[in-house]
Amino acid sequence: MASVKQITIWARGVIQDKEGRDIANGIAAAADYEGKFTQAFDNYVDLPDRVNVPLRKYARISDEEIEERYEYENANPEIVILTDATIVKGMNVLRGMPKGGTLVVNTDRTPDDILKFVPNKELLKQVVCVDATAICGGHTVDFSGSEGGIDSVGIGAGVAAPILGALVKGTEVVKLESLSKVVQNSEAMLKGYDQAQVKTL
């Protein structure tokens, strides 16, 4: 059980729905290349068809077979990714996080600016900030519906690519080589890897 790494992605409804899903699918597909057991899925409870609503996407990586495959929420995410920085004001994003977790934020601010809005920051080991929107412009808007979260078409065409790069810089859950097999815009991914600011607490 303990070997399962839980990753939760918070995104905004409709405008970043596809991006959040891309991050979850990208992590899972890249870890799959490394021979790990993986899982990526959307939250059942959130209604992603409302613009700007905070919603969750989940990914799990494990060296052994995932026992809790049919638990449909990540209760204790080690890594939390925010595709929009303003979610820190609206949600307790670190809920259930064990001590020593990582927060990855898409923002033009510094990690210290983000930490001002995190009330339970003693749980964090590090904060990674990357300005993904500046690296590759707007978001991939996709209205094809999102339930299931299994679309592997066009992973990482938008802001998901630099965020994935920043995630690798901070945590090394997956390797950069296996990610570049999955992500479409690998140039943006490498830029995200280079430009990410990592603050260790």
Partner 1 sequence: MPYFKIPKEKEVPLACITPAPVGEQPMMITGNWRIYRPVIDHEKCTLCMNCVMFCPDACWQLNEEEDEVVWNAKYCKGCSICVRECASGALTNEYELNFADGVVRLEKPF
Q: Rule CB under 8 A: which residues touch partner 1?
A: 12, 45-46, 50-56, 84-87, 89-92, 95, 107, 109, 113, 116-117, 119
Q: Write out the two tokens for 183.
A: 């992500």
Instruction: CB nearer to partner 1: give 35 or 138.
Output: 138
DSSP string for 70-83: T--S-SS-SEEEES
The span from the CA of 161 to the CA of 120, in Å, is 28
Nearest approach in angstroms of CB 173 to partner 1 is 25
Nearest approach in angstroms of CB 169 to partner 1 is 22
Nearest approach in angstroms of CB 28 to partner 1 is 22
3-state secondary structure of 170: helix
Q: Are 183 and 163 in contact (CB under 8 A)?
A: no
Q: Write out the two tokens for 123.
A: 């749980």
Instruction: CB nearer to partner 1: give 35 or 119.
Output: 119
Nearest approach in angstroms of CB 85 to partner 1 is 6
Instruction: CB nearer to partner 1: give 10 or 193.
Output: 10
Q: Are 55 and 48 in contact (CB under 8 A)?
A: yes
Instruction: CB nearer to partner 1: give 101 or 180.
Output: 101
